[in-house]
Chain A
Amino acid sequence: KAGVTQTPRYLIKTRGQQVTLSCSPISGHRSVSWYQQTPGQGLQFLFEYFSETQRNKGNFPGRFSGRQFSNSRSEMNVSTLELGDSALYLCASSTDRTYNSPLHFGNGTRLTVT
């Protein structure tokens, strides 16, 4: 079974631009979560989607948004990029038959903002 797939693998953007990252979950997984990883802050939760609805949201500004499609694929968007948005963005999926099912992560999208 294929794992979580994230595209693109690397991105370089300029301050003020916007960016869209894509995630394809493991087949059959309906819950998709996004995390930001930086050396200073570690792994921080952005948001979680289930059945096209945002179920949880972390403490990030409104410039960070996401959505989930009917096939469970998800995208996240960051508008008006800032230098501090440079990070590894990780997507994770789970079966979510019950709450508290393990998340399985993709290899991330490395975003660099210059």
Chain B
Amino acid sequence: GESVGLHLPTLSVQEGDNSIINCAYSNSASDYFIWYKQESGKGPQFIIDIRSNMDKRQGQRVTVLLNKTVKHLSLQIAATQPGDSAVYFCAENRNAGNMLTFGGGTRLMVKP
């Protein structure tokens, strides 16, 4: 498959466990944040987003937490499944357009 990053931090979890992927962002003026999942050979797939006026947002099996004080974003995946194995990217929007700044990515590996 295509490599999206040769030296990505890797999180290895057991199937059924919960996963937490962390991301630090740099611009305190960023007001919109998105998590993407990228599988080998595919483009990034939208998972969940959150605006800066919120601290937490939940989706199906996923939760995003935003801590603006320390400029930290996390993605929690409940009951992790083998199909969750992928590279996960956080992205922030620093201006009023649709220009996103992406983090370096974290590789999630799920052990059966």
A residues sitting closer than 8 Å to B (CB atoms) are 4, 31, 33, 35, 37, 39-40, 42-45, 48, 55-56, 58, 88, 90, 92, 94, 96, 99-108, 110
Contact = CB atoms under 8 A, between A and B. Distances in A.
Contact of B51 (A48, A94, A100, A105): A100
A90 B44 contact: yes
B5 A101 contact: no
Interface in B35-49: 36, 41-46, 49
Overall SS of chain B's interface: loop
Contact of A4 (B2, B43, B93): B43
A45 B99 contact: yes
Contacts of A99: 93, 96-98
Contacts of B3: 39
Nearest to B47: A102
Contacts, number: 73
Q: How big is chain B's contact interface, by range?
A: 20 to 34
Overall SS of chain A's interface: strand
B101 A45 contact: yes
